[in-house]
Amino acid sequence: MSIVPHIVGVLVLLLGVLVSVGLHELGHMVPAKKFGVRVSQYFVGFGPTLWSRTKGETEYGIKAIPLGGFVRLVGMMPPAPEGARRGRGFWNDLVADARDASVAEVRPGEEHRAFYNLSTPKKLAVMFGGPFMNLVIATVLMGVILLGYGVPAVSTTVAQLSECVPASVTSPASGEDCEGRPPAPAVAAGLEPGDEVVSFAGVEVHGWQQLVGLINDAAGQPSQVVVLRDGERVPLEVTPAPADRPVVDETGAPVLDAAGEPVVRQGGFVGFSPLQVRERQPLSAVLPAVGEQTWATATMVATLPVRVADAATQAFTAEERAQDSVQSVVGVARISGQIMALDEAILDRVMIYLSLLASLNIALFVFNMIPLLPLDGGHIVNALYEGAKRTVARVRGAPVLPGPADVARMTPVAYVVFLVLLGVGGVLIVADVVDPVRIT
């Protein structure tokens, strides 16, 4: 098997991630500059600098490790409150050093251009701008997929016929499986592959689920079925055979009982499988789809400790790695390579890539909204806290409103969160190397 498609797939994904990260940081930089904050650096990537160019007062560039990016806003942390004494100990030193480094970036006479001097609404606009860009990217990609490509759906067109009434109605039967069994009602009625069922038992058919319901209700009863064949309506008569059918949900997945067994009910069997098609969706379907996926991602993030533990357990035991297992950047890169190697039409693979990239952008949005430093959500919470204090002081008629919140005091939290994320990333990377998730 050639490794070239896998490499191409990883490079394509990498390019998409870099563009997403670059736009995320642009979402921070543009409003910051609009509000007068000095932006000293805008970089995509981390580590050694591969290329940079200074334009105006901002250095733009690309770094060697394409796993993120950053925009340096001058004055993220305000000076120490007047009269405050420097504490002792490791954590106090971290707080003081972080505060001093931030204050040192502010040029004399440009204190008004420091980020900490922005109003609460402007701080919120700057910090939410990055995640919002990821949400916009995901919405655009989902729009391209839903409006231009569509979603999988089952039609009422005959794709494949079963030669007989099988022991199980979950799959077509033919050949030796049909020895001693009655012919399928569809074959007896004269249905052919390509026929589109437009009417059953006198009822106009508009969808597969409706047709299944009509067939189940007509078990054992001769019924007229009208099909569209070569542009003409052809009437036929079919008698659905009584059969136990699995109950499925709205997505077509089988419904399971408390013991994990498929739920079945008495129904009818005609003997053909429907043609799988793609249905383009209206514009109104885009935002609900993005909202649904965002909620699903938020649920996954909320249960991240459990999911990481499950991934580690599955990787180092005989338990099979779940298809929906949380993955690291290594796992996502593997999936990307597998997509490029799929034996599918190029358009199908492109759409799978767009779907993967949309999912990654939604994940970036949700993850960055976690209300802990150094993530964007932590800065948003700090701005809201600062705004709440000033609002309370204003309502109370205080002669002097509180100054900027001392965000430097949260530096220890930022370090702990960073170490936790580093540990989680390490565990998932090992799991993805030892027992990667494989697409089916």
Active site residues: 25
Nearest to 427 by CA among 315, 333, 321, 322: 315
Exposed e or buried b per residue across 158-190, where buried means at least 16 C-beta atoms within 10 angstroms of its C-beta: beebbbbbbeebeebbeeeebeeeeebbbbbbe
* Cβ pair 32, 115 in contact under 8 A: yes
- The residues with which 55 forms a beta bridge, in sequence order, are 58
Task: Output the six-digit token pair for 46.
Answer: 């981390």
Nearest to 312 by CA among 296, 328, 298: 328
Q: Report the C-alpha gap between 205 and 226 in whole angstroms.
A: 10
Q: Are strands 223-229 and 232-238 parallel, antiparallel or unpaired?
A: antiparallel
Q: Within 184-328, where are the H helices?
A: 185-189, 208-217, 286-302, 304-315
Q: Cis before residue 254, ω within 30 degrees of 0?
A: no
Q: Are strands 272-279 and 151-161 parallel, antiparallel or unpaired?
A: antiparallel
Q: Report the C-alpha gap between 350 and 403 in whole angstroms.
A: 51
Q: What are phi and psi of 69, to 5 degrees?
A: 180, 175
Q: Report the C-alpha gap between 366 and 132 in whole angstroms.
A: 10
Q: Residue 343 is which amino acid? A: D
Task: Output the six-digit token pair for 361.
Answer: 């952008």
Tell me which DSSP letter residue 324 carries.
T
Q: Report the C-alpha gap between 191 and 130 in whole angstroms.
A: 56
Q: Report the C-alpha gap between 237 and 101 in whole angstroms.
A: 83
Q: Report the C-alpha gap between 169 and 158 in whole angstroms.
A: 16
Q: Report the C-alpha gap between 345 and 336 in whole angstroms.
A: 16
Q: Are strands 232-238 and 241-246 parallel, antiparallel or unpaired?
A: unpaired
